[in-house]
């Protein structure tokens, strides 16, 4: 009887845990749908589900084939890519959030999808004729209508998959272009629309410009690689590895969140997605340890956002930056190391000081994964190692390296029966990769609209003149204005598309103002990324707050505070590129590393108000100033900063001993 009761009790416990897990997963899915537009998709079941999955998988195969083997004209390759994106996009995204009717796609979506795709495929079919006629601007009236339909279909897909912020920016640039042709050049409404449509739709200066070209050539293959990599179980490996490294230390769960999110984020390409997936594990652990909910959500959001700047992958932006800047990929990752280390060190220091201030403990060692068990799964890193090696060596193209890494990821999945790929999971990975491409491609299309409007109207030189005029010739003010532009343009945009937008719009402004090309691209990339944690559109922070059940705005401000390095370091390497190892010596590099690390520690002390004990406000302000002095490369600033930090440390040590003696 006792045995029966025991079995019954175990059964009830198992059921309770299963229900609890289902609730947690349901909560995670709900948060994803609220803050991650990629999760708001149509619901297909039965044969319709497999048909749509087959179409998505076919797109992935088509993209890999074209990237590796096709030698098509630009007016064939890129419009065919966008035409396919229109088809799979409207099959995936409903007209509004929360539309959950099963196997339902309204008639008007079919009409928009068919007409939008047909517009792009019209260019494909008539590519040779259009190439000849574009030289004399001999585009017929009905072709203008086709162009307008194609652009509007892409705009609506972007609204569904990415959101309104980027459309507001693109709309503002379009209205300026309309004003420029209509009134500035006196063409009237009809001819103005004609000129803009030709520039935006038919020429490679609009939606077919660099962002879409880079997306079709490189991004799509890397996204598909990411989808296969996820199915090898590498995210769980990273989380367990982080637990082994930092789980037992003071405030361990928060440090685990920092390390695991840095590792997972560099390959995910989505700050929000990474916040929700890893945060569903780490945020409850942080709250249980004793961190405040808004602090726990902020740690995860800041770390997940920082994962996008983490070499060697940088959410695939490292490969794109190499293409944009025209330097070897190895140059990018070497220069990205120190800024990324400073970013995560800043979060890590704040987390550690907060844990010491609150007297928080780590996770008991008997609850942590065993390091020996993890060593047995080290093979999961093989796809990443192959990718980085092939791209760094320069022996193969980036597209070939990504394609071969997909094959390695499939092979790696076979070592574990839980992750072993079957034909069904292989199809699912291809379909998931295609689905993730939709958002990025739509955002790149809007980046093309922005870039096209700037090129058509000569707005770039006017923007530079305006920024120089407003800044009064002071570079630091001009950098601040550019930072604001990047944060606005980067709101809610995926990492790779985000960088494409920044590289096309903001980086040229800084380059023409005298900032080195590499430093300019890093500057705009960093500030485009931190838009995910910067109020008011801090999507990653809001996602973290939803999991932590904390006030969203409080979480966003905490995340911004934790990511202080991301707001300071870009100014430093823009004003003095030696932090990016540009035009510097070995001795200078060592000096920059040591003083920058000490500077980040000083900033952490100033922000958290704790070192060996509580730090008064006056000393906190002095610590912040000393931190900035140390981070800025320069002998004089370093000496001043070191002296101040040493003084603060000695004062805290003396006060601590005095307090103990008094006690």
pLDDT, one tens digit per residue, over 232-284 is 888 888 888 888 888 888 878 888 888 888 888 777 767 887 888 888 888 88
569 Cβ neighbours under 8 A, 6+ residues apart:
339, 342, 343, 526, 579, 631
> What percentage of residues in the chain have a pLDDT greater than 70?
92
**pLDDT band, residue 465 (cuts 50/70/90):** confident
**pLDDT band, residue 22 (cuts 50/70/90):** very low
Structural contact between residues 274 and 495, judged by C-beta atoms closer than 8 angstroms: no
Burial (0-12, 13-18, 19+ Cβ within 10 Å), 39: middle
> Which whole number is the average pLDDT over 402-430?
89
**427 or 363: which leads in pLDDT:** 427
Structural contact between residues 490 and 529, judged by C-beta atoms closer than 8 angstroms: yes
pLDDT tens digits, 304-338: 888 888 887 777 788 788 888 888 888 888 888 88
pLDDT of residue 461: 77
pLDDT of residue 4: 52
342 Cβ neighbours under 8 A, 6+ residues apart:
565, 569, 596, 597, 600, 631
pLDDT of residue 655: 74
Distance (Å, whole) CA 545 – CA 339 = 27
466 Cβ neighbours under 8 A, 6+ residues apart:
none
| Tokens 């700037």, residue located | 454
| Tokens 């560099």, residue located | 266
Nearest to 381 by CA among 224, 259, 264: 264
**pLDDT band, residue 659 (cuts 50/70/90):** low
Of the spans 144-153, 177-186, 521-530, which averages the highest pLDDT?
144-153
**pLDDT band, residue 13 (cuts 50/70/90):** very low
Distance (Å, whole) CA 468 – CA 476 = 11
> Which whole number is the average pLDDT over 92-117?
89
CA angle 354-360-362, nearest 5°? 115
pLDDT tens digits, 180-220: 999 888 888 888 999 999 999 998 888 998 888 888 988 89
Percent helix, strand and coil across the chain, each to the nearest 5: 80, 0, 20
**Is a pLDDT exceeding 70 seen at residue 29?**
no
Collapsing DSSP to helix, strand or coil, 168 comes out as helix
pLDDT of residue 121: 96
For residue 568 the two structure tokens come to: 């300071």
pLDDT of residue 416: 83
> Which whole number is the average pLDDT over 1-25?
45
Least confident among 4-13, 38-47, 387-396, 575-584: 4-13
Give me the phi and psi of 155, to 5 degrees please.
Answer: -60, -45
pLDDT of residue 1: 43
> Which whole number is the average pLDDT over 3-17?
45
pLDDT of residue 98: 67
Indicate the pTM of the whole model: 0.83
> Which whole number is the average pLDDT over 506-516?
85
Nearest to 577 by CA among 522, 524, 627, 533: 522
For residue 136 the two structure tokens come to: 């004399």
Distance of CA 555 to the CA centre of its chain: 19
Distance (Å, whole) CA 401 – CA 318 = 14
pLDDT of residue 261: 82
Least confident among 96-100, 151-155, 374-378, 492-496: 96-100
Sequence-ordered strand ranges (E) for 93-212:
none
For residue 164 the two structure tokens come to: 């309104």
Nearest to 263 by CA among 317, 196, 312, 214: 312
pLDDT of residue 21: 40
**Is a pLDDT exceeding 70 seen at residue 126?**
yes
**Is a pLDDT exceeding 80 seen at residue 596?**
yes
pLDDT of residue 306: 86
**Is a pLDDT exceeding 80 seen at residue 647?**
yes
**pLDDT band, residue 23 (cuts 50/70/90):** very low
Distance (Å, whole) CA 123 – CA 129 = 9
**Is a pLDDT exceeding 80 seen at residue 567?**
yes
> Residue 96 gets which letter from DSSP?
S
pLDDT tens digits, 601-644: 899 888 888 888 888 888 889 999 998 888 887 788 889 989 98
Distance (Å, whole) CA 112 – CA 463 = 35
**Is a pLDDT exceeding 70 seen at residue 39?**
no
């Amino acid at each position: 009887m006792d045995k029966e009761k025991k079995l019954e009790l175990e059964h009830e416990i198992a059921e309770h845990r299963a229900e609890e897990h289902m609730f947690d997963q349901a909560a995670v899915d709900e948060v994803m749908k609220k803050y991650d537009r990629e999760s708001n998709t149509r619901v297909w079941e039965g044969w319709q589900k497999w048909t749509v999955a087959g179409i998505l998988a076919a797109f992935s195969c088509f993209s890999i084939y074209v990237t590796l083997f096709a030698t098509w004209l630009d007016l064939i390759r890129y419009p065919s890519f966008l035409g396919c994106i229109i088809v799979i996009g409207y099959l995936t995204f409903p007209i509004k959030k929360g539309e959950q009717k099963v196997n339902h796609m309204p008639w008007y979506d079919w009409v928009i999808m068919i007409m939008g795709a047909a517009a792009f495929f019209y260019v494909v079919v008539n590519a040779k004729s259009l190439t000849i006629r574009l030289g004399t601007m001999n585009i017929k009236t009905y072709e203008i209508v086709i162009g307008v339909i194609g652009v509007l279909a892409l705009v609506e897909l972007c609204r569904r998959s990415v959101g309104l912020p980027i459309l507001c920016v693109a709309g503002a640039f379009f209205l300026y272009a309309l004003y420029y042709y209509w009134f500035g050049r006196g063409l009237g409404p009809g001819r103005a629309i004609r000129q803009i449509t030709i520039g935006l739709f038919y020429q490679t200066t609009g939606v077919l410009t660099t962002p879409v070209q880079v997306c079709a050539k490189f991004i799509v293959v890397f996204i598909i690689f990411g989808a296969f990599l996820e199915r090898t179980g590498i995210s769980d490996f990273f989380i367990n590895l982080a637990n082994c490294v930092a789980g037992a230390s003071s405030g361990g769960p928060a440090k685990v969140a920092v390390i695991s999110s840095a590792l997972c984020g560099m390959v995910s390409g989505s700050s929000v997605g990474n916040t929700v997936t890893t945060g569903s594990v780490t945020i409850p652990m942080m709250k249980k340890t004793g961190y405040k909910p808004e602090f726990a959500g902020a740690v995860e959001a800041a770390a997940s956002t920082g994962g996008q700047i983490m070499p060697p992958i940088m959410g695939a932006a490292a490969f794109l930056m190499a293409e944009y800047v025209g330097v070897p990929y190895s140059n990018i990752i070497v220069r990205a190391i120190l800024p990324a280390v400073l970013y995560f060190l800043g979060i890590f220091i704040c987390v550690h000081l907060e844990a010491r201030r609150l007297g928080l403990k780590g996770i008991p060692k008997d609850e942590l994964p065993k390091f020996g068990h993890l060593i047995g799964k080290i093979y999961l890193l093989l796809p990443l190692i192959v990718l980085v090696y092939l791209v760094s060596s320069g022996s193969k193209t980036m597209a070939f390296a990504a394609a071969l890494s997909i094959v390695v990821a499939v092979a790696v999945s076979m070592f574990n029966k839980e992750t072993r790929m079957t034909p069904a999971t292989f199809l699912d990975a291809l379909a998931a990769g295609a689905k993730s491409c939709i958002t990025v491609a739509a955002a790149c299309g809007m980046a093309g609209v922005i870039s096209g409007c700037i090129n058509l109207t000569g707005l770039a030189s006017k923007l530079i003149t305006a920024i120089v005029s407003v800044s009064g010739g002071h570079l630091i003010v001009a950098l601040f204005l550019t930072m604001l532009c990047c944060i606005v343009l980067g709101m809610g945009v995926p990492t790779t598309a985000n960088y494409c937008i920044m590289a096309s719009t903001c980086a040229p402004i800084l380059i023409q103002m005298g900032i080195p090309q590499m430093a300019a691209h890093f500057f705009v990339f960093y500030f485009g990324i931190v838009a995910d944690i910067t109020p008011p559109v801090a999507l990653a922070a809001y996602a973290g707050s939803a999991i932590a059940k904390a006030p969203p705005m409080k979480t966003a401000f905490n995340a911004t505070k934790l990511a202080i390095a991301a707001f300071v370091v870009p100014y430093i390497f823009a004003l003095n590129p030696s932090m990016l190892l540009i035009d510097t010596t070995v001795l200078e590099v060592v000096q920059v590393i040591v003083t920058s690390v000490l500077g980040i520690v000083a900033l952490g002390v100033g922000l958290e108000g704790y070192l060996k004990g509580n730090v008064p406000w006056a000393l906190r302000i002095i610590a912040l100033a000393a931190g900035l002095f140390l981070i800025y490369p320069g002998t004089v600033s370093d000496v001043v900063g070191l002296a101040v930090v040493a003084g603060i440390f000695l004062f805290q040590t003396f006060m601590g001993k005095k307090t103990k003696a008094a006690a």
